[in-house]
Structure 1
Amino acid sequence: MWIEQENALTQSFIFKDFQQAFAFMTAVAAAAEELNHHPWWSNVYNRVEIKLTTHDAGNVVTQKDWELAKRIDEVAEKYINND
């Protein structure tokens, strides 16, 4: 579930292993390029933390962030539910 706090949307994703987390990140990168909107993220082993904010709008949450969040959820569903 995305949480809006401190002018950003945030969510953590946990996968079965590093390879699955990295595959998820690769798929998210493609979606981000398509939308021309890029996340801040961090990855340690099977955990990916994502923060979304719109820099050119003054670092606040905009519709661009919600749209990317929706796409990220769609990608996550493919990886988290396919063990």
Structure 2
Amino acid sequence: MWKEENNKLTRTFKFRDFTEAFGFMTQVALLAEKMNHHPTWTNTWNTVKIELSTHDAGDIVTERDRKLADAIDQIAK
């Protein structure tokens, strides 16, 4: 579940291993490029933490972030 905090949408995803986490990140990267809206994220072994905000709008959460979050959720299923 995404949480809105500090003007960002945040969510942490856990996977079986690094390979699965990296595969998820690859899919999200392609989606983000297509949407021209890129996440801030970290990866530690099987965990991916994603933060979304719109830099052009003053680093706040906008509809672009919500759409990307929804699309990321579809990838994570």
Q: TM-score, normalised by structure 2?
A: 0.99
Runs of 5+ unmatched residues, structure 2: none
Q: CA separation in 2, counterparts of 1:8 and 1:41?
A: 12
Q: List structure 1 segments (4+ residues) > 6 angstroms apart after TM superposition.
A: none
Pair 1:19 & 2:19 matched? yes
Query: Equivalent residue of 2:42, what SS?
Result: strand
The residue aligned with 1:41 is: 41
The residue aligned with 1:76 is: 76
CA RMSD of aligned residues (A): 0.3
Q: CA separation in 2, counterparts of 1:74 and 1:22?
A: 16
Amino acid at match of 1:40: T
Shift of 1:40: 0.2
How many aligned positions are there? 77
What are the Cα deviations for residues 28-81 of structure 1, in whole angstroms up to 9, with x where unaligned? Answer: 00110111000000000000000000000000000000000001000111xxxx
The residue aligned with 1:30 is: 30
Shift of 1:5: 0.5
Q: CA separation in 2, counterparts of 1:2 and 1:11?
A: 5
Runs of 5+ unmatched residues, structure 1: 78-83
Pair 1:2 & 2:2 matched? yes
